[in-house]
Amino acid sequence: MTLNTSVRLARRPAGMPVADDWLVEAAPMPDPGPGQFVVKTQLISLDPAMRGWLDDRPSYLPPVGIGDVMRAMTVGEVVASEHHRFGVGSVVLGTFGVQEYALSDGDGVTMVDSRLGTPSMYLGILGTTGLTAYFGLMELGKPRAGDTVVVSAAAGAVGSVVGQLAKLSGCRVIGIAGGSEKCAYVVDELGFDIAVDYKAPGLRNALAQACPDGIDVYFDNVGGPVLNAALGNLAMGARVVICGAISQYNAEAPTPGPSNYMSLLVRRATMSGFLVFDYVNEYRVARKRLARWVADERLSAPETLVKGTVADFNDVLLRLFSGDNVGKLILDVRTG
């Protein structure tokens, strides 16, 4: 009998998730009924939002229930099927969770098209990551040639794409990242104009120097003091895009709001949040556009693949919070 190992939420974490917050359980692999198929997991997406899904508070998705398989986007191969569309051998993308095998009826499942990209790209540049960068920057940031665009977590999955798309739009791009190595990476490998290390003292002044005419578009992935420093350097009519706030996801007490928010008034700026899911009807077109830029080598798709098993999920998740990733972080559970 084939066993299915899954990672389930044992209790709600306080602060950074630890091993005891999870239960690793083995049960028989499910059998597909009529209209169903079974997917064998190959690649598991690690997303900062996962931390938010563990808290019992209202959000854009219900929290993961105690005892439930951890929610995750994954790519896998169909190994048993009674479904008319997803036959054995199909490679698919879906929210199949942190487990070795998942049963599906095809709802919300996307076929991986190898003409557009590799399976891992469907979790990164052609998945939620690339689509978030694309819609957040283009729809809310509205970059114009010559604009100064600043993006935080610039060496990360979303940030690395945002900066490259802003360059494709003819903008001057400043990346904010942690440490000299990542700063060198975004300039040397991704083609950003300047990088600023937020871990060094004096971020607000460093941004002022890098952006003498102010920031036209600030794409924020981290919140906290980095957001505050960016708000202190806005140009007239700036667009601040709130994509995420990873610096706050493990906070155990409410975090203070940005004290520089009045510069939104002074600079007649806007600050807007968005969710990539709101653009689901436009995914296909955007995915094709992103794939073409990758094929034309105008866009690179950095990723950090960590080999392991589903039981390594928590250790790999923590890399997002320690900054131990460049580009899309993926747990690769393929054997061999």
Ligand X SMILES: NC(=O)c1ccc[n+]([C@@H]2O[C@H](COP(=O)([O-])OP(=O)(O)OC[C@H]3O[C@@H](n4cnc5c(N)ncnc54)[C@H](OP(=O)(O)O)[C@@H]3O)[C@@H](O)[C@H]2O)c1
Positions that interact with ligand X (CB under 6 A)? 47-49, 128-129, 132, 153, 155-159, 177-178, 182, 221-222, 226, 243-247, 274-276, 320-321, 323, 325, 329
Q: How does strand 110-111 pair with strand 101-104?
A: unpaired
261 or 321: CB nearest ligand X: 321
Q: What does each C-alpha distance from 63 to 71, 108, 229, 237 come to in angstroms? A: 9, 19, 32, 37
In whole angstroms, the minimum distance from the beta carbon of 139 to ligand X comes to: 11
- Cβ 52 to ligand X, closest distance in Å? 8
Complex with ligand X: residue 78 or 125, whichever CB lies closer: 125
Residue 223, sorted as left (phi over 0), alpha (psi -120 to 50) or beta, turns out to be: left
Residue closer to ligand X, measured from CB, 211 or 245: 245
Q: Least distance in Å: CB of 50 to ligand X?
A: 9
Q: Give me the least distance between CB of 308 and ligand X, in Å please.
A: 18
* CA gap 320, 215 in Å, rounded: 26
Least distance in Å: CB of 114 to ligand X? 24
CB of 251 to ligand X, least distance (A): 10
Of 78 and 162, nearer to ligand X (C-beta) is 162
Place of tokens 């690769």: 332
User: In this complex, which beta carbon is closest to ligand X, that of residue 38 or of residue 54?
Assistant: 54
Cβ proximity to ligand X: between 194 and 320 the closer is 320
Following DSSP, what letter does each residue of 56-78 receive, concatenated? -S--SSPPPPTTSBPP--EEEEE
Residue 109 or 329 with smaller CB distance to ligand X:
329
Minimum CB–partner distance for residue 178 and ligand X (Å) = 3
Taking residue 107's Cβ as centre, other Cβ atoms within 10 Å add up to 7
